[in-house]
Amino acid sequence: MQVMRGARVIIAGAGLAGLTAAHELAVAGAAVTVIDARDYAGGRVRTVRAFPSSQHAELGGEFIEPDHKEMVGLCKQFALPLVRVLRAGFTHRFRDATGTYHVSRTAPWDALSDALAPLVRRYRLAGGSSCADAVREMATMSLSESLRRSKAPADVQPMSKALRGFFLADPDEISVLPVVEQIAKGGSPAQVEFLRIQGGNDRLVDALIRATPARLLLGHSIRAVVQAVDRITLTVVDASGLTQQIEGDYLVMTLPASTLRDVEIRPALPDDQQHAIARLAYGRATKVLLQSSNDLFGDRHARAFATDGRLGAFWHASEEQSGGGSIIAFLAGGSASAPLRDAATDGAGTLLADLCWLRMNGASITAVHIGDWTADPWARGGYAFLDPAFDPAWRPLLARRAGRIVFAGEHTSERWQGYMNGAVESGHRAARELLEQQ
């Protein structure tokens, strides 16, 4: 039995997951209300356009890959062209055990693949199942611990710090499982084909809003959810501090686990589901956008780097745009997040001084924007990651329906956790759960 036309559906969160679900449900005839605590739609997708020369860059989610089928499909649906960027992929810069710097496109992932080969074999033999005993056992080890146990060469440990810009966690914080999964399923994420939406990722957000006949309530934070036999009621507080209640028939909950655990849900979710939500970790993340009046990368073939220092990863963020200048995006995760934020706060010259090895320190800076996602009250981190205390068998619990509540968000996607594609995929799934329910 399908959800009847006119059913009242509340969407908690106006990020990609929420907007995707809202669009599908509204088109199917549901009366949709989208609620978000922020004063803008898009969540952790945020395009900054306050740059001279009409340039823009992404302060949040940025890259799309060809096998991100849900994201690619949505862009096609709204006729949003994708442009290929960073054709040379990411080059790694890291120090070895003696402190000597090395630059390589593949060395860190090659070294990790060799050191973790036995775990990758066990993972494949277990069919990659999150519930397999072998997979659950390896998940209890951090990346650092697994490298020590495998007696990996001394250079591999410091080399692994260059991956903080991808996982948003230090080697001693992240479970080895996500690294094993990456090696087994996709290899190095630094050498894939990178795409961006031409004109900015917020064009997808705007297209979804324009095409969705729904009520959009921004500046409304959700404090409580009460589920009854025939309805669901949300207690929200608006920007002026006024408390009100909003009633619907169903709720699509897309808030990240980092903030969802502060929402009172009655009756309470089952203990195992509450535990999974409470235990899911989010990576510390700072992203900095720095615009220069000249092209900082010049004719270099390499236009993206992952480092083991406070700069984290950085890349040319505007190479497909016209204008005389260029924008560098810096993304630091884990313990590098706060140092990058502090360096950017001190001034752009501090950041460029760290790039003296690329001879970028003579540039004229025209604009700097800092995004501290860890300090953001509605995100409290960049995106979800699995630490050694999170049992991978709990993953399905993050997306498990609870009565009139269905769950979505990048953290609920097992294949694409941490990606914009994971958010879109989960939004599709949540809409289907309501539209195809028996």
Q: Report long-range pairs for 273-276 (Cβ below 8 Å, ≥24 apart).
A: 273/397, 273/398, 273/400, 273/402, 275/394, 275/397, 276/390, 276/394, 276/395, 276/397, 276/398
pLDDT at 194: 96
Q: What is the pLDDT of residues 194-240, one digit of tens each?
A: 999 999 999 999 999 999 999 999 999 999 999 999 999 999 999 99
Least confident stretch, 106-115, 247-256, 306-315, 360-369: 360-369
- 157 falls in which pLDDT band (50, 70, 90)? confident
- 426 falls in which pLDDT band (50, 70, 90)? very high
| Domain 91-191 indexed as CATH 1.10.3470 | no
Q: What is the pLDDT of residues 40-98, one digit of tens each?
A: 999 999 999 989 889 999 999 999 999 999 999 999 999 999 999 999 999 998 888 78
- 359 falls in which pLDDT band (50, 70, 90)? confident
pLDDT at 363: 67
- 360 falls in which pLDDT band (50, 70, 90)? low
First-to-last alpha carbon distance for the chain, in angstroms, is 5
pLDDT at 51: 92
Q: What is the pLDDT of residues 278-297, one digit of tens each?
A: 999 999 999 999 998 888 88
pLDDT at 1: 39
- 3 falls in which pLDDT band (50, 70, 90)? low
Work out the mean pLDDT of the chain and round it to a whole number: 93
Whether residue 438 is predicted with pLDDT greater than 60 in this model: the reply is no
Q: What percent of the chain has pLDDT over 70?
A: 98
**In the chain, where the domains are located:** 8-44+201-281+390-435, 91-191
CATH code, 8-44+201-281+390-435: 3.50.50.60
pLDDT at 361: 53
pLDDT at 293: 84
